[in-house]
Amino acid sequence: MMDLLTRREEIILLSVWKLKDGAYGMSIKDHVSQVTGKKWLFGSIYTPLEKLLEKGYLISEKGEPTPERGGRAKVFFILTGEGLDALKNLQKIYEFLWDDIPALEVR
């Protein structure tokens, strides 16, 4: 073990996928905070993003600055084929792990 995605890598990768062409640091931070119901800070976003770039699961692309007052240029992130494969691999493992756990669904 274990070349599986870490928890944060999983959550961030899925967020990038969901946000499509609008995935950059801040929007990812907001999205994962909303989804998980907890407040995420910068460090918890940019560090794994960096790692995901290294692994080739994401690529980044410098965007234009916002035309509003203030607004440093965003860095957008896009899921690669390898990133998608990593998610598929995880999904397959989840099938085995979570399948046949009926008692959890009753509440």
Q: Which residues bind its own copies (CB under 8 A)?
A: 1-8, 10-11, 14, 17-18, 35-41, 44, 84, 87-88, 91, 93-94, 96-98, 100-101, 103-105, 107
Over 10-73, what HEC string results? HHHHHHHHHHHHHCEHHHHHHHHHHHHCCCCCCHHHHHHHHHHHHCCCEEEEECCCCCCCCCCC
- Cβ proximity to DNA, 33 vs 80, nearer residue: 33
Task: Give the whole-angstrom CA distance, residue 32 versus residue 92.
Answer: 22
Smallest gap from residue 53 Cβ to its own copies (A): 20
Task: Give the whole-angstrom CA distance, residue 17 versus residue 68.
Answer: 26
Smallest gap from residue 73 Cβ to its own copies (A): 27
51 forms part of the interface with DNA (CB under 7 A): yes
Task: Give the whole-angstrom CA distance, residue 99 versus residue 68.
Answer: 48
86 forms part of the interface with DNA (CB under 7 A): no
- Using CB under 7 A, pick the residue from 44, 78, 80, 90 that binds DNA: 44
Give me the residues that bind DNA (CB under 7 A), please: 1-3, 6-9, 24-26, 41-44, 46-48, 51, 65-75
